[in-house]
Amino acid sequence: MRSVQFSSYGGPEVLEVVETPEPHAGDGEIRVAVRASSLPPGEMMIRSGRRRQQVPTTFPHRTGHDAAGVVDEVGPGVEGVQVGDEVFGLAESAGFGANSDFVRLTTWALKPPAWNWAEATAAAGSSETSTRVLDRLGVGPGCTLLINGASGSVGTVAVQLARARGAKVIGTAGPANQDYVRSLGAAPTLYGDGLAGRIREIAPVGVDAVLDCAGGALPDLIAITGDPARVVTIADTSAPRHGVHLSHGAFPAQAAALGVPADPPARHGLTAAADLAAHGHMRVRIAAAFPLEDVVAAATFMEETELTGKVILFH
């Protein structure tokens, strides 16, 4: 089968499509014949070498966390899914390698017919990540939640999941994405200078919790809630210095480098997102799609454009 990997740090050109042995489903896993997977921005940062101090890697590094496709093996102990089912999900974080023609998934949900393959794979990581943080913050009816970076891949899904829980949501975005954030069901505002004042105008009674999908603004976000425990970031590695929780699902070597243990995966987030999609209430954000063979072009596109959303590989 084909897999995407890199064997040295460098630009997009170090990515290569190579032949690798097919994996097989182990205990609690399914194997999927992949139709689409996304190119993870975090792994492209690792590839560049810019994060080599914080995020050590070994070569070759196979890329990809999420996939959508057709189940073709069901491992021991797995119930509720059959060969031939269409699913979307996540590879075990220590294994990665979802930019491959076959992948072992440890977390999955049935793909709703409303989503194509690209939308399904794009939803997998964003719905798990969002749910992990919304659960930790106790987001539910009556809660006012601020999402910093609400127009991105994670923010888009987080807004819709939080709204479905009955929360009021305020979302920051750039000028071009204000209407987009409103269309998701959040009150939009710009990120950057003066954020606290704009939030006070939208929510005079205050904000209960913050999901930070952007990084770089933790002091402001803490001031907005008045309590670092009410802020969770997925993007700011300075979080421990501010008393803020950095939520991630990285494997142990990376977690040790970050200095923060991984949170348990919120597998139920995939089902929650799929249920909303089945009723027409869950959109995902896709920037572009490329054939797997064109992974270098896909990674170059990711670096050279400012489009927000997932870059998808078709298999």
Ligand X SMILES: NC(=O)c1ccc[n+]([C@@H]2O[C@H](COP(=O)([O-])OP(=O)(O)OC[C@H]3O[C@@H](n4cnc5c(N)ncnc54)[C@H](OP(=O)(O)O)[C@@H]3O)[C@@H](O)[C@H]2O)c1
Residues within the interface to ligand X (CB under 6 A):
41-42, 125, 129, 148-155, 172-174, 177, 191, 213-214, 216-217, 234-235, 247-249, 308-309
Residue nearest to ligand X (CB): 152
CB of 178 to ligand X, least distance (A): 8
Q: Which is nearer to ligand X, 228 or 309 (CB)?
A: 309
CB of 85 to ligand X, least distance (A): 26
CB of 132 to ligand X, least distance (A): 7
Q: Which is nearer to ligand X, 17 or 91 (CB)?
A: 91
Per DSSP, helices labelled H in the chain are 41-48, 117-137, 153-164, 178-184, 195-202, 218-225, 239-242, 252-258, 268-278, 295-304
Q: Which is nearer to ligand X, 67 or 71 (CB)?
A: 67
CB of 200 to ligand X, least distance (A): 18
Q: Which is nearer to ligand X, 286 or 292 (CB)?
A: 286
Q: Would strands 30-38 and 102-110 be described as parallel, antiparallel, or unpaired?
A: antiparallel
Q: Which is nearer to ligand X, 87 or 266 (CB)?
A: 266
DSSP character string of 130-173: HHHHHHHHT--TT-EEEEETTTSHHHHHHHHHHHHTT-EEEEEE
Distance separating alpha carbons of residues 80 and 74, to the nearest angstrom: 10
- Cis amide prior to 60 (ω within 30 degrees): yes
CB of 188 to ligand X, least distance (A): 9
